[in-house]
């Protein structure tokens, strides 16, 4: 009897999860093969136009920004994003496969020498979960971008409402 109730409650949470993802425009996808770089990359990196689409706390919020690699000879490696404003942060990538959108976690993001990589809705994004109490659109949060070298770059990110589409709009 107890066992069957457990099964029912697990089934319900699975339904709730998929509902949350659908609302967020994401589905579950199969992980692609991703190789982790053996290079540490450069420290000559800047992060601009960082913003977070702040969702109700049960739904993960997306973080977006431009990463500029100013080094014309080396790649830049982004390993993680740290912040006290959210309990969990992940690097994610959205993709389309067979007409279905999905997203997956990536262990790092590479920015080619001399190039700028745009994190934007529908592509690479930071996935931020479990916001600190009281966060609201218009607030600014402090984050640290962790590079392959182990260095951290402090970045201020602006929280924006659910209908925000970019840093400027
Ligand atoms: Cu995501």
45-160 maps to CATH 3.40.250.10: no
What's the 41 CA to ligand 1 centre distance in angstroms?
25
> What's the CA-to-centroid distance between 151 and ligand 1, angstroms?
24
**Burial class of residue 70 (count of CB atoms within 10 Å of its CB; 0-12, 13-18, 19+):** middle
Give, for 7, the enclosing helix (H) or strand (E).
helix 2-23
Summarize pLDDT for 23-71 with one digit per residue, the tens.
344 444 444 555 688 899 999 999 999 999 999 888 999 999 999 999 9
CA of 2 to the centre of ligand 1 (A): 35
Spell out the residues 6+ positions from residue 131 whose beta carbon is closer than 8 angstroms to its own.
54, 57, 61, 85, 86, 87
How many A from CA of 47 to the centre of ligand 1? 19
Q: How far is the CA of 81 from the centre of ligand 1 (A)?
A: 14
Ligand 1 center to 72 CA (angstroms): 30
E strand segments, 54-137: 61-69, 76-83, 86-97, 100-105, 109-111, 116-119, 124-131
The CA 138 to ligand 1 mean position distance, Å, reads 22
State residue 5's pLDDT score: 44
Higher pLDDT: 19 or 118? It is: 118
The residue-averaged pLDDT of 12-20 equals 38
pLDDT of 74-126, one tens digit each?
999 999 999 999 999 999 999 999 999 999 999 999 999 999 999 999 999 99
Instruction: Note residues around ion ligand 1 (Cβ under 5 angstroms).
Output: 92, 103, 127
Query: In this predicted structure, what is the pLDDT of residue 8?
Result: 41
Ligand 1 centre from 5 Cα, in Å? Answer: 31
């Amino acid at each position: 009897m107890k066992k069957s109730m457990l099964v029912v409650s697990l089934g319900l949470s699975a339904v709730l999860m998929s509902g949350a993802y659908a609302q967020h425009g994401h589905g579950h996808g199969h992980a692609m093969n991703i190789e982790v770089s053996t290079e540490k990359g450069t420290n000559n990196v800047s992060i601009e136009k960082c913003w977070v689409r702040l969702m109700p706390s049960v739904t993960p919020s997306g973080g977006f920004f431009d990463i500029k690699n100013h080094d014309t000879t080396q790649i830049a490696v982004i390993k993680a994003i740290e912040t006290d404003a959210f309990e969990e942060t992940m690097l994610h990538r959205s993709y389309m496969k067979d007409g279905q959108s999905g997203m997956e976690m990536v262990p790092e993001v590479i920015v080619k020498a001399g190039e700028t990589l745009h994190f934007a809705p529908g592509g690479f994004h930071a996935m931020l979960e479990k916001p600190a109490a009281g966060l609201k659109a218009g607030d600014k949060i402090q984050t640290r971008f962790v590079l392959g070298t182990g260095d951290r770059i402090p970045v201020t990110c602006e929280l924006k409402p659910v209908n925000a589409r970019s840093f400027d709009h």
